[in-house]
Amino acid sequence: MGPGTLAQVLRPLAMQSHPNLLVGLQTSDDAAVYKLSDDLALIQTVDFFPPVVDDPFAYGGIAAANAMSDVYAMGGEVTLGLNIAAWPDTLPTEGLSRIFAGGAAKMAEAGAIIAGGHTVTDDEPKYGICVTGTIHPARILTKAGARAGDRLYLTKAIGTGIVLTALKHEAADEGHVAEATASMLRLNRLASQLAQEVGVNACTDITGFGLVGHAAEMAGKSGVRLRIAVEAVPFLSGALEYAELGFVPGGIGRNRDHFSTPGPHAVVLPAGLRRSLDDLLHDPQTSGGLLLSLPAERAAALEAAFAREKAPLWAIGEVVEGGGVEVVV
């Protein structure tokens, strides 16, 4: 669902609160956080979607990695999950078993377990997981902590929506699909742990609203302006080529329409920016990376930590006074 429509739908729920609800709809963050004690808080999130790749096992793993990503965006660890699935009567159930196996394997990689779930019949397959995680209440990462003077880092290349759209039209190179699949299957767990190790001010994962959309949410919640250098943003192999050919998902238009409107979440693009680059910046991601904002004096330590673990990391911009997102060339 597009960001504008989603905001309208959630408005009645955003009024609800509880003294132990540390993070909820009021902050529009990545997951809910509920305090159980002074030393322990529960993280809860859920995500599901139709198949994005042909291999059922890989699809299950991607859906699981995507669902867990919200917990890692909050700085927590995953403990268990409950499957959510829809399956047509017309398809062999072996496919659903492979999806479940892929999801369970990815959860096990995170040190977590699938503890049950719920399945219904539907015309289109869908799969996801309701994920439970834990965190110390004093170590919660949110979108609201970015400060002027911070540096911005991204942990995965973007372009999954465009590559997958090309795949649906049977126009994608196998190597490009393999790279995108590997990126979607990679957990954000290590990136989250390294962010906690160094200490960051704000964090969010890049999913359906695209890079600049989620950056705009961080800017709005933090009361700052995020300045992103488009030439520093990493793209998946083939993504720019497919964007040039017009293989763009419908979510790009919804994201662009919402985040181009004036307000604290407005995204300002440079005049004359190539439409393909515009599309990539708004491209809805599946199991995207983390966007990190941290003090400039910790940037070298973050880069060193990621280099030590051979984990991908790109410096893509800075935080300044103001509001919204400014893309520069």
Domain spans of the chain?
3-139, 143-328
Question: What residue type is assigned to position 162 of the chain?
Answer: I
pLDDT at 14: 58
Average model confidence (pLDDT) across the chain: 94
pLDDT at 13: 62
pLDDT at 186: 98
pLDDT at 264: 78
pLDDT at 26: 66
Could you check whether 3-139 and 143-328 share the same CATH topology? no
Spans of the chain, pLDDT less than 70: 1-16, 26-28
> Which DSSP letter does residue 14 get?
G
98-129 pLDDT per residue, tens: 999 999 999 999 999 999 999 999 999 999 99
**Which residues lie below 8 Å from residue 218, measured CB to CB, with a gap of 6+?**
143, 144, 146, 202, 204, 226, 291, 293
pLDDT at 8: 63
pLDDT at 265: 80
Strands in 191-289 per DSSP E: 202-205, 225-229, 267-268
Q: In what order do the strands lie in the sheet with 21-23?
A: 21-23, 32-37, 40-49, 126-135, 77-87, 113-121
pLDDT at 262: 85
Look up tokens 């300045």; give the residue: 227
Fold of 3-139: 60s Ribosomal Protein L30; Chain: A; (3.30.1330)
> What gap in Å lies between CA 40 and CA 18, rounded to an integer?
17
179-203 pLDDT per residue, tens: 999 999 999 999 999 999 999 999 9
User: Does the predicted model carry a pTM greater than 0.85?
Assistant: yes
C-alpha dist (Å) from residue 135 to 43, 77, 141, 190, 208: 7, 7, 10, 15, 25
209-222 pLDDT per residue, tens: 999 999 999 999 99
3.90.650.10, 3.40.50.20, 1.10.260.40, 3.40.190.10: CATH of 143-328: 3.90.650.10
pLDDT at 132: 98
Q: Which two tokens stand for residue 131?
A: 């994920």
